[in-house]
Structures are given as structure tokens and as C-alpha cells.
Amino acid sequence: MAYQTINPATGKLIKTYANISDPDLETAVASAHKAFHSDWRHRPVTERGKIMSTAATILRKKSDQYSHYLTLEVGKLIVEARAEVALSADILDYYAQKAENYLEPRVLSESPGAELHIEPIGVLLGIEPWNFPYYQIARVAGPQLMVGNVLLLKHAENVPQSALAFASLFEEAGAPPGVYTNIFASIEQSERLIEDPRIRGVTVTGSERAGAAVAGRAGRNLKKSVMELGGSDPLIVLEDAPMESTLDNALFGRMFNAGQCCVGSKRIIVVGAERGEAFLDGFVQRMASLKAGDPNDPATTLGPLASERALHLLLDQIKLARKEGGKVLFGGRRIDRSGFYLEPTVLAGISEENPIHSQELFGPVASFRVVENENEAIRLANSTPFGLGASVFTADIERGRKVAAKIESGMVFINQPVWTAAQLPFGGIKNSGFGRELSELGFGEFVNEKLINVAPSGSPPWGPIK
């Protein structure tokens, strides 16, 4: 597949970019390998931090320019594009400020003289998706560049201008050549990179299929990998949850970024038949109020899907849901206008036997279920192959904690849809992947936790020092 900018709001091809040649790819890998061993890993963390903080400052100063690429290539609403730029800058600043502390050697109190030292491991390959072109990179580049690793970044084929903009960001901030390198690589070239002994780790955000293929290849080559592979997040509404604010939260959780979020609230589960009917009415009303339009217009509340392929995949899933016994309560059709717009859609009656129950709906489509009690809500929440995020809404915080403890996922938010910030660890379990990004946990994914054990001269050959 070619790297192309196609405006999702119009469907028009803007520009095509050539894949990187094999000789240029070899040059990129060699440059990264040299930058790591001869320069970057040896730089004081304060120097790396200055470059990272400068990159964050540039993002904020040029927010309009960077936001433009997100709207042009993904169709992201302009207010959401600006929010992504700001979040990405915050992540870079967070690691610039925290890295020195995270790199401090840690004394193992149970064994006097034993210390853990955190060291980088080398060149990393990042394979990132299109839905958040900057944020997805920032949560890898922020921690990994600050720990002293260097990064080769293969971005999604439909966001080449966003990819180039983020690469130029680090160049402008003063990062040496080879520290951060964008590569327009093919799948076959990416596979070869994973096998290259100079690449020491791989991180992927993408589909189950892509993650399984990359993790398998990385494993065969004895390389660490981190996988974030999507989800089908449940949003549980208990009987005592306040109606209006919970409805507002459910709409935001499902429709942010036109529903193209790994942690979007894709399955709404309401406890109680009468309450479920009222909640459904309110939710449909809110979905119906969204207005498709130019994503650059602040008045637009429904942007396009990022590609025609994504649009057709959702239309096929809606068709399958109906064929297997589900109902389309609202929406379900392509909007009759230029670009890749889908009506906000609400599905119901999706049984656990329906194939859609075990699939991710990556767009403005919500699945709605009503259950009799809390236990059934928890069972249904845990009944998919995914385990990324989840939400529980209730007026009783302690009850919410107890429900959250029973949900099988990497993240549970009480009285909010799942959100993200530099200080919060991000990641899932089951088919949603493994490993964590962001916070100190993300900082430590691709490091050597080196043990240095010190004993006084003349010590015996075995055992801790008393």
C-alpha cells in the first residue's frame, strides 16, 4: 500500500509518497545504531531533557500547523486535533521532567550492596496507527528517547504528512541524526527490520492480526515487544448513576475522534429494564444531534472516518450484525455527501453468539445492552476477547471500586469514560495486548534493569554482606 494523503472529508487524493528504498533503509538503521552507541545513550539525561522540552515547546507554538495535518489526513475535528497536539506536548514534557528521577539507581533493601541501574537497550522499531498520529508516537518517543534508546518509526500509510511533521519536530528541537527517524517502510521491509540484530525491541499499536504477526516474529528473534491491540470497552451504568451526566459521558466516550479510539466506550451496558429504556432514548437523542460537516469548522460535531476502507469495514459489520439477529436502532448508513462519513449508529440485540459481539467497532457505532443486575453486567463486560479499558458509572464510589475489581481489563475508570494522560499507565490484557505505555511503567518497558552488587574487598565468594 502506498503512503498517501487522502482528505477524508472530501475523498480527494492530495499527495503520494514513495516507500523508502532498501539502501536508504539500511542507511537509516546504520545511522540509528551509530547514534545510540556513539552519542545518545551517553548524553547526560539533562541534555536529552532539554531537547525533549524544546520539542514540546515547538508543538505548542505551532499548534495550528500540527493540527492542520491531523484534520487533513484523519478528518479529526479541529478542537480534537488541537487537544491531541497539546496532549503530545504534555507527554514529552512529562518525561523530560521525570526521567532523571526514573533513572536513579535503586538500592535493594533486602540485600545490602545490591543496586538496580536502569540502562537503554538500543534501537527500537515503532509501528503506529493513524487514529492519533502524534499521541501514539509521543507515548513511545517520550519515554524511550529519554531513557537513552533511539527510535525508527513506521507510521500508518494514510498519515505521511503527520509522520513527517513529527520527525521534523525532533530535528528542529536539536536531536542528533539517527535518534528519531521516520521510515516509509513496506510490510516486508518492516519484517526484515524485526529480524535485524541491530533492532532490540518492537512496539506496536494496531490490530490483533498485526500484533500477533509482529509479536511472533519478535519472539522468534528473542526481542522484547509491547502490544496495544485495541478493545471493545464496556461502559456499565448501574441503577444509581445520575442520568444526564452519565449520558453526556457515554456520548463523549463513544464519539470522540468519530469513535475511532482504542478505548472508546463501544458497548453500553445498563442495569435495569426501565432505566435502560430511558437511557437508550437519551443516548439516541444525543447521537442524532451530531452534525456532519467540515472538520475545520468548529461548529461541526461529526467528522468523517479516516478512510474509505474504514467506512466500508463498519458498513460490513453493521450488515453482519443485522444478519445475525441484531437491530439497528438508529443510523447505520453512509451519509450522502463527499468524504467518508457514517451516520452515528446504535445497535441493539447483539447476542454473545453474534460475531459482532467479539469484534471491535472502530467508528461512530455503539452496541447497547440492558441487563437485570450488576453481576450480569460484569459477566457481559468480561465476555469478549478484549481487555483494554472499561468504565463504571454509579453514585456509590465504593460500589464502583468493587465492580471495577471484577472487570478483566488493563484500565477501569469510575464515573468517567477511559481517558489518557502522561502520568497514567496505558495498556490491556487478553487480546488487547501486553506491556504498558506512559507513566513510569512505560519508561521501563525497553530497558536493562542491571544488577550491580558491591561487596567490600576481601569478602567471601558467596552470600550477602551482613
261 catalytic per annotation? no
User: Rounded distance, CA 204 to CA 186, Å?
Assistant: 15
84 catalytic per annotation? no
User: Rounded distance, CA 112 to CA 328, Å?
Assistant: 65
Which residue out of 73, 228, 343, 445 is catalytically annotated? 228
CB 337 within 8 A of CB 8: no
Which residue out of 262, 360, 437, 445 is catalytically annotated? 262
CB 86 within 8 A of CB 63: yes
List residues with catalytic annotation.
228, 262
